Structure formats: C-alpha cells, structure tokens
Amino acid sequence: MCGRFVSASPPDEIARYFDADETALPQLEPSYNVAPTNDVYAVTVDGGIRRVDAFHWGLVPIWAKDPKVGSKMINARSEGIATKNAYRAAIKRRRCIIPADGFYEWQKVEGSKRKQPHYIHRPDGEPLAFAGLWEVWRGPDKDNPIDPLRSCTIITTAANATMEPLHDRMPVILPPSAWDEWLDPTNDDLDTLGKLLVPAPADLITTHPVSTEVNMVRNKGPELIVAVDPDAPDTEGQLEI
C-alpha cells in the first residue's frame, strides 16, 4: 500500500519533468509527510495537453453521499480494478500520474509491537510516477450541486524484491515509456492498460530506515527522510492515520 509519501519538488519542476504545461500551476506547500486527505499534485491530460493540477488524496466516487468516503480510498488495488464500482469508470477515462519524491512503509520489528518506518525512493533522486485515478464529486443532490471536489487515488500492485521485506504491496510506478498510453483519455483498452499495472524493477528503488517522527502527520520537514540507525534510541510515536 501507500499511506504516506513525499512531495517536496516545486510544481514548475514537476511540470518540466513530465513535459506538462507550466502555466497556471497550483501552489502546494512542500511536504515530506503527505497524508491521506491532503491535497497533492497530479498530472492529467486535457485537450491533448498535459497539465499539473491539485487533487484531494482519497478518491470520492461520483455516487458517494459524503466526501469522507475518500479517506478509505487512498489506494486502489490493481487486481480487478476494472470491475470495481468505485473505479471502473475512472480506469477507462480518468487516469493520472501522481508525482512523488519517495514514499514510506512500516516494517514489523520481530519480537516487538514496534514498527520501523522506511523511506523508499529512486537511487538517482528522480521523481516516482505513481499510476492514479481521479474523479470529480459534486454532491449527492444533482439539482443543487456544490463546488466540485477533485480527488485521486494511487493504484497499488504486488511488491517487487526490494519492497517485499517491508510490505507485500507497493504503488504502481510507471516508466516514461508508459506515460502517454496511461494518460490518454481516449484510450479505453483495459487489456493493454492492465499490463502497465505491474511491479517496478527492483533496482528502480532503494530503501533506508528513518525516524519514527514520520508517524506524526504534523511533522512535515526534510529531516524525516534522513537515514537513521534503527537500533538507536528514537522518539517513538503511534502511527497517525
């Protein structure tokens, strides 16, 4: 799964990396601890042009009665995604890429209730391109729509060899060669799209343990990704969701 990630790169750098339009970019605060329901950047295609927009993290389906349901839809499992009620419309025409500098996962510590957080990122420091879906929610009353809420979810798949010691799931990380195919809203070939939802090569990512300060969502600074000795004393906090 992916429950926390890092989004610290400026939006203009994100736009250039993903070859997106650099005009009218949203401005979100850099965060080394993005949590569910936070606003995040996402790359979409509109009128044949790639754009960087801001979305609520936690997909709210158009049929939802309350936007709070989105807090349970921060991730979408790739297996069977095309038939699940919450995602089957979005997978056909509302796909996006969610840029991340890295993400976190928690590893169980043998013989202890404690979990050790790890930071997962590319060795070369380049961004990760998470496969995602997006929706626009206008409220349950069609006669009295509210201001639209744009939301997104990160698609997950089975872990690769690097991730397996930490967790059995990981985000789908799309290579640049797949970006056009994934983002094209006219492409509704679910068979070919499904072939993109696979684990990334094991050598694409590396991991290291970090402080349990990342457990607390109020902590947002760059010190959270600094490698630590997992056996050294650490201020341990309960993981906040």
Residue-wise over 165-203: b if at least 16 C-beta within 10 A, else e?
A: ebbebbbbbbeeebbeebbeeeeeeeeebeebbebbeee
**Which is more confidently placed, 176 or 238?**
176
- Look at phi and psi of residue 45 and say left if phi exceeds 0, alpha if psi is from -120 to 50, else beta: beta
pLDDT at 238: 55
pLDDT in tens, 92-146: 999 999 999 999 999 998 888 889 999 999 999 999 999 999 999 998 877 777 7
What's the CATH fold of domain 5-225? hypothetical protein yedk fold (3.90.1680)
What is the mean predicted confidence (pLDDT) over 38-43? 98
CA distances from 195 to 14, 157, 181, 198 (A): 25, 11, 11, 7
pLDDT confidence band for 233 (50 / 70 / 90): low
pLDDT tens across 75-93, in order?
999 999 999 999 999 999 9
Domain extents for the chain? 5-225
Give the separation between CA 157 and CA 132, rounded to whole angstroms. Answer: 12
Catalytic residues: 2, 105
